[in-house]
Amino acid sequence: MPYYDEPGVRWDDPLIRWDDPRTYQQVLNDQQNQTPSTMYDVALDISRLSVPDLISRARQIKAATEAHDDFAALADDLTALGTAIDALVAAQSDMSTAKAVATSKTEIRDTQFLPPVVAKLNALGIEIGKAATSEAAVEATTLRVSPPPGPKPVPSQPTGLELTFGDEDGVLAGQCDGQPGIVDYYEIRYTTGDPLGDTPGWQFADTSKKSRFELSSLPSGEKVWIAVRACNARGKSPWSDPACKRVP
């Protein structure tokens, strides 16, 4: 299994398996050398369309998809979409001719028939992304390929660190401002010495996957300084400004 003292290894790293004979670096290399998937992330861009515009757009996508050889295997999906479109069109027709006293009934019918069209379009977009042999094939359906997300930046220095008493002796709880979508985990350290001195005596305390954490087994009655830093695969932030609290 990967050696825990290798650089960059954490005890809870999802790449580590007890029955894996490779070193951690070999695991990383093998993961990076995997053949990338050819599945395309297809954007539908239908969330802001009115019901009449959605009907028109769904018909356009259906017709364009039926006309491309890459998507011949999606015939059943396209038939189901066509059936859902027809049902929604019928509901819309009823709404346009209904009397005012029947408005509530026709609104219920429209609500009933709209979700299946949206659901089948979403499912079709996924299947198009799987079946397409190129980005041009996706574009032939009048849809587009979503650009891949950019890499996460290195986390910024955590701010707003605050400490509170825990429920038991020797326990302090802490929380800093979060960085959603950027931070994978936090490292936490503490000291009973002078954090600004020449020998602050920092000790590693724990890691936390959240910006809220709790430390136990701290020296009761002692004043401790605690600091955190945010980490992800790109790197680690500078340590936060330390916060101070006397341990209960």
pLDDT tens by residue, 167-199: 889 999 999 999 998 999 999 999 999 998 889
**How many other CB atoms are there within 10 angstroms of residue 92's CB atom?**
18
23 token code pair: 């070193």
Are 202 and 166 in a shared domain? yes
Contacts with 195 (C-beta within 8 Å, 6 or more apart), sequence order = 202, 225, 227, 242
Q: Which of these three, 84, 112, 145, is where a domain ends?
A: 145
Are 176 and 140 in a shared domain? no
For the chain, residues with pLDDT lower than 70 are 1-25, 27-38, 94-111
DSSP at 205: E
- Total domains in the chain come to 2
Residue 69 falls inside a structural domain: yes
Residue 150: predicted pLDDT: 75
DSSP 133-194: SSHHHHHHTT-EEPPPPPPPPPPPPP---EEEE-SSTT-EEEE----TTT-SEEEEEEESS-
**CATH code, domain carrying 186:** 2.60.40.10
Q: Which domain holds residue 63?
A: 42-145
The partner residues of 191 in beta bridges, in order of sequence, read 225
pLDDT tens by residue, 58-69: 999 999 999 999
Residue 100: predicted pLDDT: 46
5 token code pair: 């003292």
Residue 160: predicted pLDDT: 96
